[in-house]
Amino acid sequence: MTDLNKAVTRRTRANVPHGVKPEIVVTLYPGGTIGLRETGRRRKHEYCLDIGRLYVRAVQAKLAFEGMQRAKKRAQERKLRRQLR
């Protein structure tokens, strides 16, 4: 893998809510920043975020989802135990 020395821009399609263009432009900047904007919008309408913070958010979201799944499973098990009494 190589280090990022200049900005790299790519377009992709995404599942987005109604009213947002589904084609998104993603730009990776040196220094660990990601820029996101709709296709056809100017750069001043670009939303930038730090890759490190994005990674931490993704890990937190995964842990929260797994915790929610465990809680649902425990609730179902308790419900079954009550029904068997």
Share of the chain above pLDDT 90, in %: 69
- Residue 6: name the closest of 26, 24, 28 by CA: 28
The label of the residue with tokens 């135990």 reads 81
Q: State the chain's mean pLDDT as an integer.
A: 92
Dig out the tokens for 37 from the structure: 């904007």
Are the C-beta atoms of 28 and 8 separated by less than 8 Å? yes
pLDDT range class, residue 12, cuts 50, 70, 90 = very high
pLDDT range class, residue 33, cuts 50, 70, 90 = very high
pLDDT score, position 60: 98
pLDDT of 43 above 80: no
pTM: 0.71
- Residue 46: name the closest of 54, 36, 58, 34 by CA: 36
Distance between CA atoms of residues 67 and 12, nearest Å: 31
